[in-house]
Amino acid sequence: MKETLVAGMTHELRFQVTPSKTVPALYPESIDFSAMPGVFATGFLVGFLEWACVAMLAPHLDEGEQSLGTHISVSHDAATPPGFEVTAKVSLVSIEGRRLRFDVEAHDGVDLIAKGTHMRALILRSKFDEKLRRKIEAVAR
C-alpha cells in the first residue's frame, strides 16, 4: 500500500437502486426470495458498502494489490424502493498491517438505511490466485 493511505480518509459513492438489486433478484432460484417485497436487498446493500470501500482504496494500492472483505457488521434499518438513489459514506478508521477497518453507512435521501463497520484485508493478487489454485487442485485429486 502507498503512504497516501491513512486513517481518517473518507469516500462517498452513489447508486440508483434498480429492480435487479431488490430482494426477489438476490437469488432468483429461491421461491422464498421471489415472494418478498421488491426493495433494496441487504445482500446488495452489503456489496454496495464494500464497493465504496474498494473505490476509496483503489488509488492508494500498489500494483498487484487488492482488498477483500473479511468481516461486516451492519444494520439494515429502512426499506428503499427501486428508483431511489442511495449514498454510501465510508471512513477508514484504522490500518493495522494489512487489515483495514471502516465505519460505513448508507442513506436513501429519506432515511439512514444502514450503519456499521467493515473490515478488509489487503492481498497480493498473484499470491491469492496461487493459494486458490492449490486449493482447487487439492480437491480435484
For this structure, is 42 an active site residue?
yes
Catalytic residue among 10, 11, 22, 42: 42
For this structure, is 76 an active site residue?
yes
For this structure, is 4 an active site residue?
no
Q: Which residues pair with 118 in a beta bridge?
A: 72, 102
* Angle in degrees, CA 122, 128, 133, rounded to 5: 165
C-alpha to C-alpha distance for 104 and 52, rounded to whole angstroms: 9
- Kindly state the DSSP code that residue 62 receives in the 8-state scheme: P
Catalytic residue among 3, 12, 50, 117: 50
Catalytic residue among 76, 105, 107, 118: 76
Catalytic residues: 42, 50, 76
